[in-house]
A and B are shown apart, each in its own frame.
Chain A
Amino acid sequence: MGKVFSLNIHELPEEKIMATTLKPVDVVIIGVGWAGSILAKELAQTGLKVVGLERGGNRRQEDFTLPGIHDQLKYDRRLELFENLSRTTLTFRNTTREVARPMRRHGPFPWGEGVGGAGLHWAGWTWRMTPWDFQIKSQTIARYGEKMIPEDSTIQDWPITYDELEPYYDKFEYTLGISGKAGNLKGEIQPGGNPFEGPRAREYPNPPLKRSYGETLFANAARELGYHPFPMPAAQMSQPYKNPDGVTLGACVYCGYCMNTGCEVMAKAVPQTTTLPVALKTGNFEIRTHAAVTRINTSGNRAISVTYIDGQGRELEQPADLILLTAFTWSNTHLLLVSGIGKPYNPATGTGVVGKNYSWHNALPYIPLYYDEGHIFNPFMGAGALGTVIADFQGDNFDHTGLGFIGGNILAAIAMGHGPLTFQPTPPGTPSWGSEWKKALAYYYTRTVQIIGLHDHLSYRGNYMDLDPNYRDIYGNPLLRLTYDYGPNERRMSEYLVSVGDKIAKAMKPSKYAVYGLDAHFNAGAGYGIIHQVGGAITGTTPANSVVNKYLQSWDVPNLFVIGASSFPQISSFNPTGTVGALAYFAADAIKNKYLKNPGPLVPS
């Protein structure tokens, strides 16, 4: 069946190989991670025949059993569950004046691959954005005037409001069984929660996780300073939980092996423990693994099929009525560009939209605090989203008059489970090897607390994605090229947030500490560890300012939806996945209740 596709690009024949065309299906989903698995469940439950094409391998809950899962080298250092970069990667440069080079190894933001996507090995910080985040531009102008927005910033309001998305946040949180404490129930501020959050209809489905000792020190210091500490909303179960779809999850045992791998007690909400089993049980959902989609084929303004290469190297064409692109920010943008769907963004002229408004945020600040006798933190105990947070400096929760920047951060003391292969705290001034290093590490490994902030990052004219002219993937497509650096708003914000971090660190009374702000430039060789890439296929009110409408439907090709953080016009201080999940449910609702009844554009252009 079909021709054998050569994986060696140098042997590619001149003429295009004819792909084998498969039997049409109702829906094709490209990428089976968080977004893909939610859409698969929602649509398969309506009786539609859904095929999920996933370029990585199968990953089953059974693959994460004792004791093999407790292996830091395999999961944290060799990144077993992440994208295999020998097949594809991105190229990177800080500005358009440079030649982009490939990210040959994972560094700043390793991304997922395989069934479950990065959702399988995420840490589980499960946030909602605030009402302000959806209206950053208009709210900033209203309070501070146009001049507060840097000249070359391209931020824009979302076409969706917090209130519209609230029921879908709720659905995502109840499906996952998030452990947390509400701070605002229908407008009433609740003690112990985040008083700055948007109003929620009901409490979290599970109470907060237990608090580690380091968090307690942080919470006490924050309260002394008049701030409002609250537990991180976590995708780890504080107690056994049965979700609305009837799936059961176990209680977290704080084993500390959580991020970068799966969970052996099914205490972490991941696609395998929530959405996928329900989708598969319908009998209407088929996952094809090792299926790398290389192109979405269109005819006029319709997507007719997708082309993919399977594990045997065959090129196959899968026709479908509805195509959902849920392959994470990189591939969402890449597949639109290589398929010629939508107008590519051009930073020189500011025209075009595909690839526009890439943003990301770093840990700002990063604060290790070193204690002496009388304090032991046992950093190997923990859970991926175990943390205590303040949002007093998030978004517009404080007056920015005269500060010269907008936005801020969430700041969290964390106990995510930090084994010694990746956590080697030694106070500044310690040599990086030799007896002195050894002695400092032996002493401080159990005596160090970490605080990290995540910050707002504006989008800018010069931060974007397009196709690289020099490098290709093994399928013959050009690599995605990322051009990115911190902007003026972030650099000014860094100084301010470092001073806030310093105040809190002092109040925690360690014997030593350090507060790190942003480096001079984003460095693709550093291991920052934050996988929050957004933009490239942003949502907006018109085809001129966006790739997709508020339902994440392509303006150009109405039977194509592009779902994920690629739709964010800019990143907020919050980890994106809570919003990705809410948007996935929002889009699924629009498809079921609007699109299927009357296939066509859901918003007139």
Chain B
Amino acid sequence: MDRRKFLTILGSTVAALSSAHLFSATPSYGRKLGTLKKAYTFFTQAESEFIEAAVARLIPADELGPGALEADVPYFIDQQLSGEYGAGARFYNQGPFGATTPYQGYQLALTPRQLYRAGIAATDQYCEETYGKRFAQLDPAKQDEVLKGLQGIAGDINLKDVPGATFFNHLLSDTKDGFFSDPAYGGNKDMIGWKLVGFPGVPAMYMGLIGRNEPYHVEPVDLRSLQEAKAPVDEHGHVIHRRAAIPRQTTAPTSRPTDSSYSDDSRPEPSFAV
């Protein structure tokens, strides 16, 4: 039986505001691959080329502003894989391993670190065999094709040694984590991710504001700026946010995405725990 889902979408009543962008100053956001000013401790040279190319497709630099590459997300992933998470230190890793149902969660014998190592190698091998080039050397359209194939939503790429979708889902989720985590973890450089969505980071006291139907346009604050006493705080240590220099403007997306072949309409992961 299929997932019981009842879905209704009303007609979109979008009236786009001005099309001013989040970052109005610089016209070009893309960073060249391989120009990170930090040292990788897990990825090899070839692996870092793959990751940089892949995250630049997953969250691209575009007219809305910089993307995952510019936010140093590859470095974030590298650091996460170098540490506790990469080692699967808080996961149950004992065998036996064996046949599973689709409802038993992650059952590979691989730690996240091993999964990336195997997944990158297998994807590059697939690209070599199919296109005669490694992933990082493909043009963006081909790269998207490969990523969609891995994801298993459009096309289906069978990797050697590791399930493509499992690898892809880790990569996508870690990329988003790196885009929105506090910059202390090495990604979300200049709070690029937070600025994109209008998240203020370390919170102020909101009791006077909750309930209002009003935008909250402030300069976001991260942990480091507080630690360095660069953000103003009240007598209890709560941040006092500064109004944003340029109010954030957003444009409603077109009601119909041009390509929804790789949309994921399954039940979203929850943002609550009760």
Contact = CB atoms under 8 A, between A and B. Distances in A.
Interface of A: 65-68, 70-73, 77-79, 84-86, 88-89, 92-94, 98-105, 107, 110, 122-123, 125, 210-213, 216, 251-257, 259-260, 265, 363, 366, 368, 372-378, 380-382, 386, 414-416, 418-425, 427-443, 445-446, 450, 452, 454, 470-472, 491, 494-495, 498-499, 502, 505-506, 510-532, 575
Contacts of A418: 271-272
Tell me whether chain B's interface is mostly helix, strand or loop, or mixed: loop
Nearest to A211: B211
A514 B180 contact: no
B105 A524 contact: yes
Contact of B182 (A72, A216, A414, A434): A72
Contacts of B181: 72-73, 77, 421
A37 to B, nearest CB: 20
Main secondary structure of the interface of A (DSSP, over half): loop
Contact of B223 (A68, A213, A363): A68
Contacts of B89: 86
B176 interface: yes
B38 interface: no
A414 B216 CA distance: 19
Given A372-B252, A424-B176, A443-B253, A380 B237 contact: no
A87 B223 CA distance: 31
Interface in B164-210: 172, 175-177, 180-182, 184-185, 193-194, 196-207, 209-210
Contacts of A68: 223
Contacts of B270: 363, 366, 422, 452, 527-529
B273 interface: yes
Interface string B134-170: 0000000000100100010100000000000000000
Contacts of B273: 110, 123, 259-260, 529-531
Contact of A499 (B6, B17, B207): B6
Contact of A86 (B91, B237, B252, B274): B91
A434 B57 contact: yes
B226 A519 contact: no
B9 A378 contact: no
Interface of B: 1-15, 17, 22, 57-60, 62, 64, 67, 84-85, 88-94, 96, 98-107, 144, 147, 151, 153, 172, 175-177, 180-182, 184-185, 193-194, 196-207, 209-216, 223, 226-227, 233, 236-239, 250-253, 256-260, 262-265, 267-274
Given A415-B210, A434-B144, A472-B94, A425 B262 contact: no
Given A438-B196, A446-B197, A254 B8 contact: no
Contacts of A530: 273-274
A104 B91 contact: yes
B209 to A, nearest CB: 6
B257 A431 contact: yes
A441 to B, nearest CB: 6
